[in-house]
Structure 1
Amino acid sequence: MTEPREPDPLAVAVANASLLGAGYLILGRRALFWAAAVGTASLLWLTYTTAEAWCELLVVLWWAAVVAHGWWLARRHPAAGPRRGQRVLALALTVPVLAAAGWVRFDAYGIEDRVTDARADGSCRAAVDTQEGVGFRHRLLAAPVAARGDTVVEACERLDTAAGYLSGGLTGDLDMLASAFDRLGAVLDEPGNERTVGATLKRYLGRLPTDDGCRNVRIADWLRERRTGPKDLTGPASATSARIIPGALVECGDALMTDEEWADARDSYQRLLDEHPGDGRADDAREGIRKASLAIELIQVRNLLDEADSMDSGYCRNPAKYSAAPAYRKGRSGAVFVGDTEYTDKLPQEWRAATSDAALVVCTDETEAGDTVETCQYRDHKGHIGSVTFNKLAVRVKAYALRTGKLVTDRTVQIGGESCPGTLGYFGSLPPGMAVTPSDADVRDAFGPVVGR
């Protein structure tokens, strides 16, 4: 293009306002045209890559400088003056460019407003979906605006990661739960994220309680004990802990009862009564404590009975109660026999009872010589005649009421039996004394008064 002899300064300025350097073409300054194009492209790319407001300010200053420079150059031309054709051409070029740029920026601000509104509503999903409408044109012509939306999306992505850790916390992994709250706190520290953080936490807390009572107790305790951090996190956490802990304690106690973890079950029920005495499940907890306590008593009694192989061991040495044992009823109560059971093993089966159904625990000591029955003459293997005295069997007996663990009988019973048999078996020399030979009936007669038979 050759330099026109009559340039219109206004047309040149307007053409340069397009930031395409078209005004320099009107002036015939091709070198300036290419310089302006490179400068504009460089500034726009800088704005695109940095998304900083100062870059946009540079673009505005560059725009003003190019417009002013084109005006100044055109004014210096000797034939400068108004030219209708040039003005129409400049307007036809610049107006669409500026209108398109303005529309893109207007659209970018609209997207930003919708993203901000979505974040204010606590909806990360809506914010992310809206930000997906940002394209290359927005990032080129309104980079800082687009970048602010990217910041919201980045915060939402971090919240999504925190939500994953919160889900892990539902399995009882308290380390994951702690990590989740740390991440929530970090996002909350950044202005404008209060609603999205709150919504993320609310979704997690709304999934509590889980179907595992003991896991719920651990989670609730952790939530209650987390006293550090923003109140926007600790407040809802504490409130949720208070909401789920009473039911969790009862459910945990029930699960432990099923697993026969009696002591832990009792502690769980007792904690409900200590911390929430007015809760509607208090009666269930009291019943649970009663059952667990009885189970613990029964285990203790059974262990002591297993250890009782003499009068000075196990239950016979340290009697314990089983509160659910039946009361002693003469002629109808079953007993458990421990200690030296050589003769009590011969007692009728109907006198016996399982530990959980027995009313008495009968401890028996080793047998000793009791009252004399009679003395008889026998000839030994050498033909000598000697006397043998026969005695009853004396057995020390202690009986305890299983319901209370208290001693109800402490006596020595004597078991009678056959004496002076026609033939006497012995080793070595003729013994001076021997015990009678009791029958099952003799044993029953001796022990009957002890057990009320």
Structure 2
Amino acid sequence: MDHPTHEHDPFRSPGEPPEPPRTPPTPCDPVAAALGNASLLGIGHLLLGHRWLAALAALGTVMLLGLTASAAAAWCEILLLLWWVAGTAHGWFLARGRAEHVVRRGQRAGTLAVTVAVLLTAVLLRVDAYGIEDRVNEAREGGDCGTAVDAQAEVWFGHRLAAAPVVDPGDAVVEACHRLERAASTLAAGRDGNVENLEEGFAVLALVLRKPGNENTVATVLDAFLDGLPTKDPCDTADITDWLRDREPTRDVLDRSADTAARTGPAALVGCGDDLMDEDDWQQARARYQRLLDEYPDDARTKEAHSGVEKAGRAIELDTVRRLVEATTDTSTGYCDNPAKYSGAPPYRKGSNRALFLGDTEYTDKLPRDWRTSDPAKAALVVCADTAENGAAVETCYYENDLSEYLPHQVTFHKVKIPLKVYELRTGKRVDPREVQISGGSCPRVLHYEYYGPTDLGPGGDEFVSTARSDVRDAFRPVVFRPAVER
């Protein structure tokens, strides 16, 4: 009977059991290892039994993909490509370093399937990303922000992993479109003539326009705003067109707003002037008409504007006259102290002229109604009558006081003199006469007066004549009647 023999190990102690034989390295397939790492998942390292290398390979892939998605730069994709080449080569050379090589068709088929799936997915995502961005760019070139935003909304995380630099410009398009949307809203709010909204809206348009490729989308927003002119309120339109006309040229698409201002401005200025006239805001109305004449001298509406300036000017003059008349209490106040013209007043013509009588109206109230008017718009003259005073002496008579026959009294009767300030309303200039004297009866048989006590000896030494309406009318006739022939 044969017994197994054992080689003597001089380093082993007597009685120590012998070491088990070492397991030789597992034969590997370099092609399978390379294909496994080409998946960027570290599968080749797993096949070689290097789990930590596999985990590090997968972690590196994740980090590079995250960097590519966030930075969206070409150098990140180049770095990822180098990582792919390095991983594939590393798997190949690790497997080639083994003593035994075998062909494992199952491993090759499996790793090839995984790698093809990964790479095909990346390629398909990249192709789809290019298609999306083509539609984004096409929509932007057509000025259609809505379609561009909808197209970019199809981008998901997979597109950013596989083609971040491709889809990243679309994000800038979306951001520009959102800014343009806010600009459109601001400009729409500026249709009420709010200059601050116009300034803000155009500032956003100019900011978006600085980025190349946004000309058409900016033009779409601008055209939508300009197409809304004129607005329903001509004064709002006039404010907008004034701002557009005064805007500094920028030598870009925004300058087309000046053409719209030239097209809609004249009609808006006239319409606004008319509305302001209806609201009795004559100062602003005249300013609108005058702006048309200053800025659009060749426009067909200049005749209307000239008429509006004249009409507004007359309304302003009449308003001034009315205020002065209301402030008049005597010949030293209001219109009598500071006469103003009303160019729309009836002319101071030969014959009868209606007058507006101010000041002391004790006698002027006795004048015929067709000589007088309370409406400044209908008066040719403004007559300021001062307090009556003694005029020319007419007759002196002697009276005895009823209280005592020994107290005779001498009384001189005078015409009623009324100092006047007479103004031609159309020019505001003073005209004659400077006074009138009213005649009347004198030396009545009995002279009545107020008795104020024992020391009252009777009437004063000067008295007015007694006047009738006809006397007042005769005295004031030269004031309201202009002679046919003046000498």
1:110 to 121, 131, 156: 131
**Which residue number corresponds to residue 197 of structure 1?**
218
Instruction: Give runs of aligned pairs for residues 11-410 of structure 1, distance below 5 A.
Output: 11-80=32-101, 84-227=105-248, 230-232=250-252, 234-311=254-331, 314-316=334-336, 318-328=338-348, 333-353=353-373, 354-380=375-401, 381-384=403-406, 385-410=408-433
Could you tell me which amino acid in structure 2 is paired with residue 388 of structure 1?
A: V
Partner secondary structure for residue 191 of structure 1:
coil
Residue number in structure 1 paired with 2:9: none
CA–CA distance in 1 between the matches of 2:89 and 2:343?
104
- Post-superposition shift, 1:4? 9.2
In structure 2, do the counterparts of structure 1 residues 264 and 277 end up closer, same or farther at CA, with 3 Å as the change threshold? same
Cα 1:303–1:86 change in 2 (3 A) is: closer
1:144 and 1:174 mapped to 2: Cα distance?
41
1:414 aligns with 2:437: yes
Partner of 1:361: helix, strand, or coil? Answer: strand
Mapped to 2, the partners of 1:411 and 1:37 lie a distance apart of: 114
| Separation (CA, whole Å) in 1 of partners of 2:59 and 2:435 | 120
Deviation at 1:111, TM superposition (A): 1.0
**For each residue in 1:261-287, what CA deviation from the matched residue of structure 2 results, as whole angstroms up to 9, or x when unmatched?**
222221221121122112122122112
Q: In the alignment, residue 110 of structure 1 is paired with which amino acid?
A: G
Give the Cα–Cα distance (whole angstroms) in 2 for the partners of residues 336 and 239 of structure 1. Answer: 52
> For residue 10 of structure 2, what is the aligned residue in structure 1?
none
Task: Determine if contact 1:12/1:74 at 8 Å carries over to the other structure.
Answer: yes
TM-score scaled by length of structure 2: 0.82
Relative to structure 1, the CA distance from residue 363 to residue 31 in structure 2 (aligned partners, 3 Å threshold; closer, same or farther) is: closer
Q: Secondary structure at the match of 1:393?
A: strand
Are the equivalent residues in 1 in contact too, given 2:411–2:463 (CA < 8 A)?
yes
Give the Cα separation in 1 of the matches to 2:430 and 2:173.
78
- How far the C-alpha of 1:174 sits from its partner, in A, is 2.8
Alpha-carbon displacement from aligned partner over 1:24-54 (angstroms, at most 9, x marks no partner): 4444544443333333223223323433332
Q: After TM superposition, give the deviation of residue 84 of structure 1 in Å.
A: 4.5
Which has a greater percent of helix? 1
302-311 vs 336-345, which moves further: 302-311
Q: Which residue of 1 aligns with 2:20?
A: none
The residue identity in structure 2 corresponding to 1:259 is: E
Deviates more, 1:351-360 or 1:27-36: 27-36
CA RMSD across the alignment: 3.0
Matched, 1:433 2:462: yes
Contact 2:420 2:436 in 1 (8 A): yes
Q: 1:398 to 1:59 in 2, by over 3 A?
A: closer
Residues 26, 331 of structure 1: alpha-carbon distance in 2 compared, 3 angstrom cutoff = same
Structure 1 residue 16, shift from structure 2 partner: 2.6
Instruction: Provide the rounded CA distance (Å) in 2 between the counterparts of 1:35 and 1:275.
Output: 75
Shift of 1:408: 4.7
Question: Does the CA-based 8 Å contact 2:352-2:480 persist in structure 1?
Answer: no
Aligned residues: 451
Whether contact under 8 Å (1:370, 1:414) holds in the other structure is yes
For residue 403 of structure 1, what is the amino acid of its counterpart? R
Give the match's secondary structure for 2:388.
strand
Return closer, same or farther for 1:386/1:69 CA change in 2, 3 Å cut-off: closer
Corresponding residue of 2:476: 447
The 3 A distance-change label for structure 1 pair 434 and 56 is same
Contact 1:389 1:433 in 2 (8 A): yes
Query: Percent same amino acid at aligned positions?
Result: 52
State the one-letter code of the partner of 1:441. S
Cα distance in structure 1, aligned partners of 2:145 and 2:82: 37
Choose 1 or 2 for highest CA Rg.
2
Amino acid at match of 1:46: L
TM-score (normalizing by structure 1): 0.88
CA contact (8 A) 1:346 1:443 kept: yes
Distance 1:394 1:68, change over 3 A: same
CA displacement, residues 80-117 of structure 1 (integer Å, 9 cap, x when unaligned): 36554444333333222221221011111211221122
- What is the DSSP-based 3-state SS (H/G/I as helix, E as strand, rest coil) of the residue aligned with 2:387? strand
Tell me, in whole angstroms, the C-alpha distance in 2 between the residues paired with 1:439 and 1:120.
94
Cα distance in 2 for partners of 1:208, 1:100 equals: 52
Amino acid at match of 1:445: D
**Equivalent position amino acid for 2:471 in 1:** D
Q: Cα gap change, 1:4/1:154 in structure 2, threshold over 3 Å: closer, same or farther?
A: farther
Please say if residues 3 and 26 of structure 1, whose CA atoms lie closer than 8 Å, have aligned partners that are also in contact: no
CA contact (8 A) 1:367 1:394 kept: yes
SS of corresponding position for 2:343: coil
Contact 1:347 1:443 in 2 (8 A): yes
Q: Distance in 1 between matches of 2:136 and 2:415?
A: 102
- d(CA) in 1 for partners of 2:104, 2:172: 49
How far the C-alpha of 1:392 sits from its partner, in A, is 2.2
Q: What is the distance in 1 between the residues matched to 2:478 and 2:433?
A: 12
Amino acid at match of 1:402: L
1:340-373 C-alpha deviation (Å, 9 max, x unpaired): 3221122232321221112222233333333444
- Find the aligned partners of 1:370 and 1:25 in 2 and give their Cα distance: 135
The 3 A distance-change label for structure 1 pair 433 and 50 is closer
